[in-house]
């Protein structure tokens, strides 16, 4: 996990192909299972899982950032809120249709992300991480201060039907599922894209990348903008599935939740990994709703435990097994 | 306006103390400790529990116990993180967030979400200079900050440990080649930082009240101070703290107190644009 399998160098084909089929099967299986799920579950769980899928997109954006730039963000609720409020404002004001709203929300979030990361382009990533803390904290107060635009505490209503005749619960579910598929597909294929390869080169071989015009500063800016775009996309879908946006859904705590989800999913860009991470952060609070204070401890232990197990324990075991095998030979 | 600035300077001193702790850790181990606020808050809560909250210890004994506890916890935390640090600072940073969550959860579990008062044992004095009220609290904060900064300066400038700390923060590889124990220097910075955190927490709490989030929110200003002063400069962060204190006070007095976090965000972004690397950094070459 500390060294994500994404690297700019061509992978070892023979070893990878076997793994890749496995991964693809798992992804397709997850999508099929999620697609058929509404047959068996009631409306409460349908709603919860729609939220989970929309949340998954936001988690994916945090994983993406950690993977491609090695930066931790605890302010991604800002970009999720940007996406959600953009689509809500577009629907309530000029009455833009849903798909158009999603596109604009994604673009606006990317632009805001770029603008936010701009001052730290020549600095070490530490500054960016710390400033995201303030970014995450300022969301509710900004939304409440300009309440004549944002609707204040009550928030804004978002239309949750695209086509007539189908129950809105099902529409929300399938839109969220389709959006998560698109987001994971894009995030996964990003690795082989021109921009993705350049960002990864800038991470692994900064000087070589700089010679091709990609300094580590511009790599960080690009990774941050793409991540913010994914978060804004997730935000617009989240607004659609909850059919309303209000400051309460974008408090700082949500960023922490996103980070916990990203770590639990092992920064996965695959749909099954993202779903596992999202399921952890949505189901734990639901199952433990009577023990509010333990949620913090459980999240903390999850962060610490997953990180220590996958960075310290697993490598140690691998090393020991390898040593023993060499010994025998 | 003068009293507002003066109050800003007093609270700014506390932000400096918080920021100094963050910078100590960053200088030696190149990572940000997001658990700083929560752990300091835990220290303040244990002082409360040991004095007014039931045990009835004398204040000084409680503070000493809290400082010892903070040292023990920071050693434990460093022990958990040490191996992560050798791999990537990012994972270590996320791990500190986890530790912060655990500390916050422990506070909520043990003390609930109640609000407590935790005052310093000071006489009620106040004098007036140039139309400003100067209370015993202000004097205590200023003198405590002064003492701590002088002590820190002496340790870093004069002792062998301080020399080792400077060597590790300048060039960890060369320091290791010279036979310095990196982990001992790291431990020194973590322990010092946790003590600075507890002292800052104890001094900030009398201005408001003690709740599970007081100290963590206070630490945002400390983070801002460290960003503005430069994460690799101790004097810079001390000055940054006072700048943040004064400007925050002016902003919330004259503009809008409910937008304080937004103000801090813009202040940090502006400062990064105009003084990348902190207000005291000489612009020497690239810092990539």
Which spans in B112-181 are helix H?
Answer: 136-158, 160-170, 172-177
pLDDT of residue A311: 82
Asked if A293 lies within 8 A of B34 by C-beta distance, the reply is no
Q: Both A272 and A296 in a single domain?
A: no
The CB-based long-range contact list for A250-253 (8 Å cut-off, 24+ gap) reads A250/A77, A250/A78, A250/A80, A250/A81, A250/A84, A250/A139, A250/A140, A250/A143, A251/A77, A251/A139, A251/A140, A252/A74, A252/A77, A252/A136, A252/A137, A252/A139
For residue A117, which of A229, A269, A234, A2 has the smallest C-alpha distance? A229
Phi, psi for A157 (deg, rounded to 5): -90, 140
pLDDT of residue B288: 38
Classify residue A39 as exposed, middle or buried by CB count within 10 Å of its CB (0-12, 13-18, 19+).
exposed
Structure tokens at A311: 């960075």
pLDDT of residue A1: 42
pLDDT of residue A19: 55
Tens of pLDDT, residues A288-323 = 877 777 888 888 888 888 888 888 888 888 888 888
**In which band, very low, low, confident or very high, does the pLDDT at A8 lie, cut at 50, 70 and 90?**
low
Q: Both A232 and A311 in a single domain?
A: no
Pairwise CA distance, residues B205 & B119, whole Å? 7
Q: Both A280 and A317 in a single domain?
A: no
Closest-CA distance of chain B to residue A116, Å: 8
Of B98, B269, B272, the CB nearest to A300: B98
- Which range marks the domain in which residue A303 is found? 292-329
Q: Both A78 and A178 in a single domain?
A: yes
Pairwise CA distance, residues A109 & A92, whole Å? 19
Residues of B in contact with A223 (CB under 8 A): none
Range A67-73 average pLDDT: 86
Are A236 and A84 contacting, i.e. CB atoms less than 8 angstroms apart? yes
Q: Which of A153-157, A195-199, B52-56 has the lowest mean pLDDT?
A: B52-56
Q: Both A200 and A308 in a single domain?
A: no
Asked if B231 lies within 8 A of A127 by C-beta distance, the reply is yes
The interface residues of chain B toward chain A in range 64-83, judged by CB-CB distance below 8 A, are 80, 83
The interface residues of chain B toward chain A in range 218-277, judged by CB-CB distance below 8 A, are 220, 223-224, 226-227, 231, 256, 258-262, 264-265, 268-270, 272-273, 276-277
pLDDT value at A11 more than 60: no
Site from B230, B240, B261, B284 to mutate, A interface, most A CB atoms within 10 angstroms: B261
Are B227 and A131 contacting, i.e. CB atoms less than 8 angstroms apart? yes
Q: How many CB pairs under 8 A join A and B?
A: 156
Site from A117, A202, A263, A293 to mutate, B interface, most B CB atoms within 10 angstroms: A293
Whether residue A308 lies inside any domain: the answer is yes
Q: Both A93 and A235 in a single domain?
A: yes
Residues of B in contact with A295 (CB under 8 A): 105
Structure tokens at B211: 């709740």
Structure tokens at B219: 């630490």
The CATH class for the domain spanning B2-274 reads mainly alpha
Structure tokens at A268: 């996965």
Interface ipTM: 0.85
Closest-CA distance of chain B to residue A134, Å: 5
Residues of A in contact with B93 (CB under 8 A): 72, 129
Of B93, B103, B258, the CB nearest to A129: B93
Pairwise CA distance, residues B208 & B226, whole Å? 23
Asked if A304 lies within 8 A of B272 by C-beta distance, the reply is no
Pairwise CA distance, residues A217 & A209, whole Å? 11
Q: Both A94 and A26 in a single domain?
A: yes
Distances (CA, A) of B109 to A156, A186, B100: 35, 42, 14
pLDDT of residue B282: 56
Pairwise CA distance, residues A57 & A83, whole Å? 12
Asked if B97 lies within 8 A of A120 by C-beta distance, the reply is no
Pairwise CA distance, residues A198 & B85, whole Å? 27
Whether residue A6 lies inside any domain: the answer is no
Q: Both A102 and A185 in a single domain?
A: yes
Are A128 and B252 contacting, i.e. CB atoms less than 8 angstroms apart? no
pLDDT of residue A18: 52
Q: Identify the residue with better confidence: A282 or A121.
A: A282
Tens of pLDDT, residues B235-285 = 888 888 999 999 988 998 888 888 888 888 888 888 888 887 777 765 544
Strand B132-135 versus strand B126-129 pairing type:
antiparallel
pLDDT of residue B287: 43
Residues of B in contact with A312 (CB under 8 A): 83-84
Closest-CA distance of chain A to residue B131, Å: 34
pLDDT value at A58 more than 90: yes
pLDDT value at A123 more than 80: no
Supply the mean pLDDT for chain A. 84
Closest-CA distance of chain A to residue B136, Å: 32
**In which band, very low, low, confident or very high, does the pLDDT at A232 lie, cut at 50, 70 and 90?**
very high
Whether residue A100 lies inside any domain: the answer is yes
Pairwise CA distance, residues A318 & A221, whole Å? 35
pLDDT value at A65 more than 60: yes
Closest chain A residue to B102 measured between Cα atoms?
A: A297
Pairwise CA distance, residues B49 & B62, whole Å? 9
pLDDT of residue A7: 57
Whether residue A229 lies inside any domain: the answer is yes
Distances (CA, A) of A120 to B35, B91, B271, B275: 23, 20, 10, 11
Closest chain B residue to A69 measured between Cα atoms?
A: B90
Whether residue A318 lies inside any domain: the answer is yes
Q: What string of H, E and C letters represents the secondary structure of A220-287? A: HHHHHHHHHHHHHHHHHHHHHHHCEECHHHHCHHHHHHHHHHHHHCCCCCCHHHHHHHHHHHHHHHHH
pLDDT below 70 — which residues of chain B?
130-131, 281-288
CA-CA-CA-CA torsion for B171, B176, B179, B180, nearest 10 degrees? 70
Residues 6+ away with beta carbon under 8 Å from B205 = B44, B118, B214, B215
Whether residue A29 lies inside any domain: the answer is yes
Q: Both A115 and A199 in a single domain?
A: yes
CATH classification at residue A26: 1.10.3470
Pairwise CA distance, residues B250 & B247, whole Å? 5
Site from B91, B264, B276 to mutate, A interface, most A CB atoms within 10 angstroms: B91
Ordered by start, the domain boundaries in chain B are 2-274
Q: Both A104 and A228 in a single domain?
A: yes
**In which band, very low, low, confident or very high, does the pLDDT at A183 lie, cut at 50, 70 and 90?**
very high
Residues of B in contact with A298 (CB under 8 A): 105
Q: Both A319 and A200 in a single domain?
A: no
Closest-CA distance of chain B to residue A210, Å: 12
Secondary structure of residue B30 in the 3-state scheme: coil
Phi, psi for B112 (deg, rounded to 5): 70, -170
Pairwise CA distance, residues B269 & B31, whole Å? 20
Which H helix or E strand runs over A157? strand A156-157
Q: Both A175 and A102 in a single domain?
A: yes
Residue B84 near chain A (CB below 8 Å): yes
């Amino acid at each position: 996990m500390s060294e994500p399998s994404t690297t700019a160098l061509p992978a070892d084909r023979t070893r990878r192909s076997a793994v890749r089929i496995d991964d693809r099967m798992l992804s397709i299986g997850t999508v099929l299972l999620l697609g058929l799920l509404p047959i068996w579950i009631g409306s409460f769980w349908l709603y919860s899982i729609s939220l989970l899928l929309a949340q998954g997109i936001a988690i994916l954006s945090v994983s993406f950032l950690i993977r491609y730039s090695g930066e931790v963000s605890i302010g991604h609720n800002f970009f999720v809120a940007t996406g959600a409020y953009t689509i809500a404002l577009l629907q309530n004001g000029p009455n833009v249709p849903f798909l158009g709203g999603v596109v604009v929300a994604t673009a606006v979030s990317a632009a805001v992300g770029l603008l936010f990361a701009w001052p730290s382009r020549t600095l070490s990533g530490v500054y960016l991480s710390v400033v995201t803390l303030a970014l995450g904290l300022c969301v509710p107060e900004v939304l409440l201060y300009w309440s004549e635009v944002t609707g204040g505490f009550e928030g804004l209503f978002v239309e949750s039907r695209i086509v007539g005749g189908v129950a809105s619960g099902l529409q929300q579910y399938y839109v969220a599922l389709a959006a998560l598929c698109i987001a994971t597909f894009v995030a996964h294929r990003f690795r082989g894209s021109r921009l993705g390869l350049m960002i990864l080169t800038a991470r692994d071989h900064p000087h070589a990348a700089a010679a091709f015009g990609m300094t580590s500063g511009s790599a960080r800016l690009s990774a941050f903008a793409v991540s913010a775009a994914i978060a804004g996309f997730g935000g617009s879908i989240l607004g659609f599935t909850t059919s309303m946006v209000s400051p309460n859904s974008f408090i700082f705590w949500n960023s922490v939740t996103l980070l916990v989800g990203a770590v639990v999913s092992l920064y996965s860009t695959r749909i099954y990994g993202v779903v596992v991470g999202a399921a952890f952060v949505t189901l734990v609070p639901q199952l433990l709703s009577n023990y509010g204070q333990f949620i913090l401890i459980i999240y903390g232990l999850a962060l610490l435990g997953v990180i220590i197990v996958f960075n310290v324990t697993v490598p140690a075991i691998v090393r020991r097994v390898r040593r023993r095998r060499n010994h025998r030979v | 306006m003068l009293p507002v600035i003066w109050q800003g300077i007093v609270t700014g001193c506390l932000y400096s103390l918080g920021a100094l702790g963050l910078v100590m850790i960053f200088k030696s181990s190149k990572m940000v400790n997001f658990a700083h606020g929560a752990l300091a808050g835990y220290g303040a809560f244990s002082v409360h529990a040991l004095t007014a909250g039931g045990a009835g210890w004398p204040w000084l004994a409680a503070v000493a116990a809290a400082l010892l506890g903070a040292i023990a916890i920071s050693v434990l935390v460093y022990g958990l993180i040490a191996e992560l640090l050798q791999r990537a600072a990012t994972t270590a940073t996320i791990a500190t967030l986890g530790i912060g969550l655990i500390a916050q959860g422990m506070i909520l579990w043990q003390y609930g979400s109640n609000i407590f008062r935790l005052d310093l044992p000071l006489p009620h004095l106040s004098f007036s200079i140039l139309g400003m009220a100067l209370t015993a609290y202000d004097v205590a904060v200023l003198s405590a900050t002064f003492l701590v900064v002088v002590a820190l300066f002496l340790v870093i400038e004069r002792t062998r440990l301080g020399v080792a700390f400077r060597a590790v923060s300048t060039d960890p590889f060369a320091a290791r080649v010279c036979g310095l124990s990196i982990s001992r220097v790291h431990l020194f910075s973590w322990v010092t930082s946790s003590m600075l955190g507890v002292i800052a927490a104890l001094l900030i709490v009398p201005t408001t009240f003690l709740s599970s989030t007081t100290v963590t929110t206070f630490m945002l200003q400390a983070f801002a101070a460290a960003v503005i002063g430069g994460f690799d400069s101790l004097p810079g962060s001390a000055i940054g703290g006072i700048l943040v204190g004064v400007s925050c006070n002016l902003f919330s007095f004259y503009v809008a107190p409910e937008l304080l976090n937004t103000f801090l965000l813009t202040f940090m972004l502006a400062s990064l644009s105009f003084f990348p690397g902190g207000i005291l950094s000489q612009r020497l070459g690239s810092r990539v």
